[in-house]
Amino acid sequence: MTERDASPLHAGDPAPHRAAFLHSVLNALHAHIAVLDHRGTIIEVNDAWRRFATANAGDPGRCSVGVNYFDVCRSAITVGCDAFALDAYAGIHRVLTGEDEEFHLEYPCDSPTESRTFVLHVVPRGEPGEGVVVSHENISDQTKIKELERSVDALDAFTYTASHGLRQPLRGIRNHAEFAIGSCSAATEPVVVQSLQSIQRLAAHLDALIDGLMRFARIGKMAPVIRRARIADLAAFAVESLHDTAHDPTVEISIDPDLPVVLCDPALIGEVFQNLIANALKYRTPGQCRIIVGWNHDAHWPEFFVTDNGIGIRASDQAAIFDLFRRLHPGDRYGGGAGAGLTIVKRIVEQHGGSIRVESDEGAGSTFFFSLSPPPTAA
């Protein structure tokens, strides 16, 4: 008994069952598939092929069973001088004669309403010369995603380089302002001193914005390095790195020791905790500051949170705080800032496949929840 005969798919009366089974498999596929004989005549097509021919070929009979596929390619070459049809013709021919083991071709296939990219795969059917299986697959979505990713990468690289370039002259402006302030004497007009101080303050703010842009672009340029990491350790390390404030007796930070071990980029997730805890410390109310780092045990997938009893965020501002350079407070209030921290946090979380949200009431604290993978789809 051969391995094929032993398969449950071929048990009983093999030939009709196998044909029906292969038919169902072919029809279940999204790719448009045609089987050609040794002359290139179409001897079998799947439902996707038929649907595509009906929707796109005008006359579906032009490429249905019994038609020679090389004739279809030839007419495309003559009618439209289509270079891709010529390539397809030659590629299919080479696989049919056994000259090549397989053939792939990516080609544009625009409809009147959309621009599309298809990929043609050709593989032999049985022995060389017996025939081939031709499949056309619409890969427009994957192509668009790749193009989008390339554009985002290019934008990140540009942002990083441009920010880097801006820093140098800005440092010069800050240094000159500092020198000029140092050179002021009692006789200098107060308005001059104030102007120089404003230049210095604005330059420092611009420097913080550029720093935020560079950090944002850097995250996009880096591929996460995924490892197993104890979330409790990452949170503890983040607190340690903020130790000046964390050792303040008016600050209590508790970290759930049962926080799980997960697969993530530890450096990036450490940065997430550092940002969220730094904000919890920064946007506090007078009196005791309480921060809890924990996770939702009940959730079907780990969702971590950083909660505080600080100033809270109005419901109408909660979506905007994740936008770049979006601050809810003017100037140096609450220690100032560039308004880039939460945008960076969101980018890191989304890079991991997760999402972030905030629950907050003005004056009653905030809780930032984030996951590192998408929630399971509803059953």
> From the CB of 285, what's the least distance to ligand ADP, in Å?
10
> From the CB of 112, what's the least distance to ligand ADP, in Å?
45
Binding positions for ligand ADP, rule: CB under 6 A = 275, 279-280, 283, 308, 310-311, 313, 321, 326-329, 337-343, 366
Closest to ligand ADP by CB, 88 vs 280, is 280
Name residues whose C-beta falls within 8 Å of residue 212's C-beta, 6 or more positions apart in sequence: 324, 325, 338, 339, 340, 341, 343, 344
Closest to ligand ADP by CB, 200 vs 307, is 307
The residue nearest ligand ADP at its CB is 337
The structure tokens 């500051």 sit at 289
Closest to ligand ADP by CB, 92 vs 276, is 276
Closest to ligand ADP by CB, 46 vs 309, is 309
Closest to ligand ADP by CB, 96 vs 280, is 280
Burial grade of 240 (CB within 10 A; 0-12, 13-18, 19 or more) = exposed
> From the CB of 171, what's the least distance to ligand ADP, in Å?
21
Question: What is the distance between the alpha carbons of residues 379 and 376, in angstroms, rounded to a whole number?
Answer: 8
> From the CB of 251, what's the least distance to ligand ADP, in Å?
13
> From the CB of 202, what's the least distance to ligand ADP, in Å?
16
> From the CB of 250, what's the least distance to ligand ADP, in Å?
16
Name residues whose C-beta falls within 8 Å of residue 60's C-beta, 6 or more positions apart in sequence: 50, 53, 54
Closest to ligand ADP by CB, 120 vs 203, is 203
> From the CB of 266, what's the least distance to ligand ADP, in Å?
21
Closest to ligand ADP by CB, 135 vs 275, is 275
> From the CB of 183, what's the least distance to ligand ADP, in Å?
33
Closest to ligand ADP by CB, 242 vs 280, is 280
